[in-house]
Amino acid sequence: MNFVARLVRKGRREFARSVFRSRLAKRWIEKFFLTRFFVQIQAREAFDLMAGFVYSQVLLTCIRLEVLKFLADGPKQIVELSDFLDLSRDRFDCLIGSACALGLLEEDGLGNIDLGIKGQIFAYDLGLCALIKHHELFYGDLVNPVGLFEDEGYETSLNRYWGYAKQQGNSNKSSQEEKKLNAKKYSDLMSLSQPLVTEQIFQSFNFDKYSSILDVGGGKGTFAIRLAEVFKGEKIASLDLPDVCIEANKSISRAGFEGKVTAIPLNFFKDPVPVGYELITLIRVLYDHPTEDVLRLLVNVRKALPKNGAVLIAEPMETNQITNKAKSDAYFWLYLAAMGKGRPRASSELRSLLLKAGFTRSRCLKTTLPIQTGIVVGQV
């Protein structure tokens, strides 16, 4: 941040402090025609900060009760939706009124109701709906947010959900069964939500210059299968834990790519990364791991790559600008804290880690939806 920007930001803070501390000054600035609009914007944003959790619960309820799915084919009469939901009149009015206020639904004043623009964003995206349902765990963990911040050992539902990887090597039969179940749930969620990221990558990166690609942390093989549909190279592989690879092999077989896509069962933090691939991809892998583990993995990836090889990192990234932080940063910080590990990283931090890992250069690629996907490419 340069000197002028610091000075401007400091001036804004001091002006705001002088206004909000004084009831008289606040009253005047609310009425003055040049500042009234600014005050109204700040009031709306402050209210959204207070009410944001309520908004998320309205969305979750609409998805759990399949309101958006019911209206996906087009508008219905309000009485049809009422019969479908079978709620009391007061609770029906509460839910529909709230959903309309948030832009999820729209009434036409003639007894009909339809999806609003925001409702359509969710109604036609199964991966996004799966993520919202999954967020019930996260919302439960936020019942005691202070405990989450004060106690690093605070046990959360998200930590248990994502903790299946820690169970590897436990020979207890019941633990093995739980491990397999958790691995499947995790793989299903990541597979459903993968298109949110995959299309951003294909729009920004050219895979044709590489003859072989290894997707580390590939889950059910969703990204590798998508690659197989368009990639002209010799071989594609998806690497993940053994129990995850069981699901990957099923997906690969169903897609008809047994001969083109291979599932490699390894723990990429404990085992060497296989050699023989010109490009290694890390799709939504690094941000939910501690920095020391991330650096160790990048070092192993660097060792596995040939001369002129590359690594592609794609995941949500913290905004680089100190002066213009995105609100999504707050979400990822809290989500990863509830997971109990990892942190959102800016592209500048990832590029620094690539340099430490032995990569000679790196670059950032622009995406059309940076709020959900940032891309950094490291070159050997």
CA proximity to 114, closest of 72, 79, 60: 72
Taking only the tens place, the pLDDT of each residue in 66-96 is 999 999 999 999 999 999 999 999 999 999 9
CA proximity to 360, closest of 305, 287, 315: 305
The H-or-E segment that residue 75 falls in is: none
The encoded tokens of residue 271 equal 């085992």
The encoded tokens of residue 241 equal 């834990």
Taking only the tens place, the pLDDT of each residue in 227-286 is 999 887 779 999 999 988 998 999 999 999 998 999 999 999 999 999 999 999 999 999
Chain region(s) in the chain for CATH 1.10.10.10: 18-123
Pick the CATH number of 193-379 from 3.40.50.150, 3.40.190.10, 3.30.505.10, 3.40.50.300: 3.40.50.150
| Residues in the chain, overall count | 380
What would the CATH number be for the domain defined by 18-123?
1.10.10.10
Taking only the tens place, the pLDDT of each residue in 7-40 is 888 887 887 787 778 888 778 887 888 778 878 8
Cα–Cα dist 34/107, whole Å: 35
In this prediction the pTM is 0.83
**CB of 356 within 8 A of CB of 176?**
no
Q: Residue 108: what pLDDT?
A: 93
Neighbouring C-alpha atoms within 13 Å toward the C-beta of 153: 0
Chain region(s) in the chain for CATH 3.40.50.150: 193-379
Select, from the ranges 135-139, 206-210, 241-245, 275-279, the one with the highest average predicted confidence (pLDDT). 275-279
